[in-house]
Amino acid sequence: MLSIKQKQVVGVTSIVVLVAVVLSVVHLIVLARVLLEESRARGEMLANFVFHRAREVVMTNPDTVYQAIRSDSGVRSMLESAIYSQEVTYAAIVDTSGWIVAHSDPAFIGQKVAEARALDELLAESGFEQLLAVYSTRQTLAWRQPILLDQAPFGEITIGVSTLLVRDRLDASLGPAAVVAGIALLVAIAVATLLSQVVLRPIHVIQSGLSRLGRGELGVTLDLKDDEFKDLGDVFASVTEQLRSVTPDGAKRRQLLELSRRVMALGRLTAGVAHEVKNPLNAMTIHLELLRQKLAGNTAAVPAVQHVDVIGREIRRLDDVVQGFLKFARPEEMTLGPVDLADVVADIFRIISAEAKLVGVSLEITVEPGLAKVEADSTMLRQALLNLVKNAVQAMPNGGRLAAGLHTARDGRIELRLQDTGVGIPPEHLAKIFDLYFTTKEGGTGIGLSLVYRTIQLHHGDVDVESTPGIGTSFVIKLPVAR
């Protein structure tokens, strides 16, 4: 079992590792977007060069434009030189039907141009989606520019950009980041070890005082000068002072027993203090400040600095909510894959059916024919939906109906609507039901719905709630379709 000192070092190191991982991901997201923007600018520049040359050929040979473009040495030279640009894999001119008229590789002339996702489409996505696209698949993106003849399109210039080459440039940037993270980790371990001597000194003083008091040394005092422990030292001194005045006769014996119980309570309080000190806030704050100084002056790291500030504010609240915060905020490893959402809901209904039958709740499920699968971690999603279904059944203690409907939403995602006929949620609580620790249920922890919300967000989905007191509540979840 780890000692308090070891737990402190592990706690500080874990925070530094978490911060390093978050900053690394943010750095990669920012860098991926910058590289994709560079690729778009490079593709646009190459397309403009080819466009101007192709337009001259078209204007000179309006009757045989495709043949003229194919045979023009200037166009061919520009297309062939384009592949020497970073991330560019090919350059081509295609007609309105998608057939290749001219290509950087002449072997492809006369073939259909390969389907490729538009580079602008990816740039319109979030930074996290862009990073996933670069690392999850090996694909070629396309920058397209139409060519007009008499104000009518007769073809387009296509520049291919490889995500694999973008990924190689991202991987090259990970080396310096790994070195910085390693140095920060070593510094964190060293500083945490040094600070543990200072932070844990009051615990050792209290432990020594209790041991001496247990051996009968009634004149024991504690040398506690820290403001956080000064009151505890005063209580200890008061107890020892009263023990010195106690005799073993009659009422004094009862007084001795009462004082003994106070000493036991003091021991429990000490154990509680030791438990809370396992994650020293001072050490965490120092390391966050060191990270903030390392990022100072780096304009690309502005979003990362914002993350550091958020973490710093949350650390100041750890003395009250450390256990709940760690359970809620620690990122979980996800294994995404195609999941049949209808099967998951059906399984959950089978699990909850016995409890629902006891309180007179009927379960119904309707599924759109041919419904696509969602991209999700099956275990995490199942647990989140099970929490929602249990809450719905518990909201109908006098019976009712819980209906689950699954269909394709207008935006192309898969929508799940869980609708109950329970007591409903008051309007003033609707905006807070996903807040961590907010609960109106007797004995509730206020964590369940927060974990549901976090799980859906991790899956790049949305969750919303509609409720009318006395009529019922509907939770609407939208999840992306599996790739």
Highest mean pLDDT (candidates 8-12, 91-95, 163-167, 238-242): 91-95
- 285-301 per-position pLDDT tens digit: 777 777 777 777 666 66
Average confidence (pLDDT) over 275-282: 54
Q: Which two tokens stand for residue 43?
A: 């593709």
Average confidence (pLDDT) over 34-41: 82
- Separation of alpha carbons 361 and 394, rounded Å: 10
Q: How much is the mean pLDDT over the chain?
A: 76
Residues 389 and 402: beta-carbon distance below 8 Å: yes
Burial class (CB in 10 A: 0-12, 13-18, 19+), 78: buried
Domain layout of the chain by residue ranges = 1-200+283-327, 204-276, 337-479
- Separation of alpha carbons 98 and 470, rounded Å: 60
pLDDT at residue 281, rounded to an integer = 61
> Which stretch of 21-25, 163-167, 214-218 has the lowest confidence by average pLDDT?
214-218
Q: Look at residues 75, 99, 91, 96 and name the one whose alpha carbon lies nearest to residue 42.
A: 91
pLDDT at residue 403, rounded to an integer = 94
Q: At residue 159, does pLDDT exceed 70?
A: yes
- 108-154 per-position pLDDT tens digit: 888 888 888 888 888 888 888 888 888 877 778 887 888 776 677 77
The CATH code for residues 1-200+283-327 is 3.30.450.20
Same CATH topology for 1-200+283-327 and 337-479: the answer is no
Q: At residue 326, does pLDDT exceed 80?
A: no
Q: At residue 334, does pLDDT exceed 80?
A: no
pLDDT category, 274, cuts 50, 70, 90? very low
- 63-111 per-position pLDDT tens digit: 677 787 787 888 888 888 888 777 788 888 888 888 888 888 888 888 8
- 397-446 per-position pLDDT tens digit: 889 999 999 999 988 999 999 999 988 888 778 777 877 666 766 656 66
Give Cα separations from 242 to 218, 256, 263, 264, 469 (angstroms).
9, 9, 11, 15, 58
107 vs 208, which has greater pLDDT? 107
- 341-382 per-position pLDDT tens digit: 999 999 999 999 999 999 999 999 999 999 999 999 998 899
pLDDT at residue 480, rounded to an integer = 93
Strand partners, 159: 91, 143
Class of the 337-479 domain?
alpha beta
Q: Look at residues 424, 437, 436 and name the one whose alpha carbon lies nearest to residue 465.
A: 424
pTM greater than 0.95: no
pLDDT at residue 443, rounded to an integer = 56
% of the chain residues with pLDDT over 90 = 15
Relative to beta strand 400-408, strand 361-367 is: parallel
Q: At residue 338, does pLDDT exceed 90?
A: yes
